[in-house]
Amino acid sequence: MSATTHPAPPETTIIPVILAISAGHFLNDLMQSLIPASYPLLKANLALNFTQIGVITLVFQGTASILQPLVGLYADRRPMPYALAAGMASTGAGLVLLAHAASFLAVLAAVALIGLGSSIFHPEASRIARLAAGMRPGFAQSVFQVGGNAGAAMGPLAAGWIVLQRGQLSIEWFAAAAMLGMLLLAAVGRWYVLHGAARAQARRARARSGQGYPPAMVRRGMTLLILLIFSKFLYTASFSSYYTFYLIEHFGLTENQALNALFVFLAAVAAGTIVGGPIGDRIGRRRVILWSIVGILPLTLALPWLPLWPTVVVAALAGMILASAFPAMVVYAQDLMPQNTGMVAGLLFGLAFGIAAVGAAALGVLADQIGIVAVYRICAFLPALGLAAFFLPDARH
């Protein structure tokens, strides 16, 4: 990535950089996904209840939610080429602490460190992916995000094969992934120093000289995106944090069987992510957002009433369709605010984490009161908020 003597024009798509960012996203989200995948083990070892499980998610994702927009805003003005490697180091340190956590408070401290790493990684990585995208921002965003979703999908398998078999201490083995990620992302930082900074300067100059969208259109588009993200990620949080418990309680599965079903869901999410961006490059982001969010409502309404195997299949299909929206959402927002691509990415990723954090905590309290099966029947109606997508302005016009 750093050996090119003559930098490519800003319109050129730099595939090696996009793939490196995606691989870093894979490692980052693989490590982070060990947190919810290890909930059954932590719940048993530390005698936690569903409310405490929700608080763990709140601290982890809440830390990332608050800091990501601030990191993105700062990076838009003062780029930090090697911040990605530093964020990976924070995540690795959090994993080591989590492996040795013997109390609820120690778990909270560990997941806060992992959340800090996430807050650094996501906005800066999304900004660099946009820089390397050239004329294919949807493609670049999808490739970047599919790495993260693939890593998240591998988390339950890693937990089932290693952590549940060898115990909580084995979590620290995955700190080796953080070391690999630091080396990979340091190379991305080197590319930015040599070539990416010039691309960023050219993009900012183009954005300043171009005609921006009307402020009312930007406000309307961003407000509706926030509502859609609330619907999408609150529903997704019910799966990432509690799907295993639902399958265990409702169908009597073992922990390993439930984790395998969670892997199927998260793998389908990864598949949906890679589709949304390139399609958005061709037919427009608004159409992808509209059909992906609204189209899953019949599936989610049917899901709580299905037998085991239809539940696994329909949940995977709903996750795949829903996931196709997020790359289009990020690029749509960056199109509306082209001078603040890092801040916009940080805002949307931060909202995603924050909504999932608060939602997971609230769902945990509700599950303690009415049961996890009843919670899933209520969550089935959340995608109905996606009807707001009909009112998104069309940025192409």
Q: Which amino acid is at 376?
A: Y
Residue among 63, 77, 30, 287 nearest 181 (CA): 30
Can you give the pLDDT at residue 363? 82
Can you give the pLDDT at residue 113? 92
Strand, helix or coil at 339? coil
pLDDT in tens, 293-307: 777 888 989 988 999
Mean pLDDT of 130-159: 80
Helical pair 285-294 and 308-323, crossing angle rounded to 10 deg: 160
Residue among 71, 395, 359 nearest 222 (CA): 395
Any idea which residue has 């995540």 for tokens? 91
Residue among 106, 93, 92 nearest 56 (CA): 106
Please name the helix (run of DSSP H) or strand (run of DSSP E) that holds residue 23, with its range, or none.
helix 15-37
CB 24 within 8 A of CB 185: yes
Any idea which residue has 């929206």 for tokens? 325
- 176/92 Cα distance (integer angstroms): 8
Can you give the pLDDT at residue 88? 92
Is the pLDDT at 7 greater than 80, yes or no?
no
CA dist 251 → 28, 82, 164, 305 (Å): 32, 47, 20, 12
Q: Where are the beta strands (DSSP E) in the chain?
A: none
CA dist 40 → 43, 255, 259 (Å): 5, 7, 10
**Cα angle 227-231-237, degrees, rounded to a multiple of 5:** 135
Mean pLDDT of 122-147: 81
Is the pLDDT at 199 greater than 70, yes or no?
no
Of 282-296, 300-314, 349-363, least confident by mean pLDDT is: 349-363
Mean pLDDT of 246-270: 86
35-49, 92-106, 360-374, range with greatest mean pLDDT: 92-106
Can you give the pLDDT at residue 19? 92
Can you give the pLDDT at residue 5? 47
User: What is the distance, to the nearest Å, from the Cα of residue 213 to the centroid of all Cα atoms in its chain?
Assistant: 28
Is the pLDDT at 31 greater than 80, yes or no?
yes
Can you give the pLDDT at residue 6? 56
| CB atoms closer than 10 angstroms to residue 142 | 32
Average pLDDT, the chain: 81
Residue among 254, 251, 246, 248 nearest 379 (CA): 246
Q: In terms of pLDDT, which residue wins out, 194 or 305?
A: 305
Residues contacting 318, CB < 8 A, separation 6+: 296, 299, 300, 303
CB 288 within 8 A of CB 276: yes
pLDDT in tens, 262-273: 888 888 888 887
Can you give the pLDDT at residue 8? 63
Is the pLDDT at 4 greater than 50, yes or no?
no
Can you give the pLDDT at residue 182? 93
Query: Taking the model in full, what pTM does it have?
Result: 0.67
Domains present along the chain, CATH in parentheses: 15-391 (1.20.1250.20)
Please name the helix (run of DSSP H) or strand (run of DSSP E) that holds residue 161, with its range, or none.
none
Mean pLDDT of 271-283: 77
Q: In terms of pLDDT, which residue wins out, 349 or 99?
A: 99
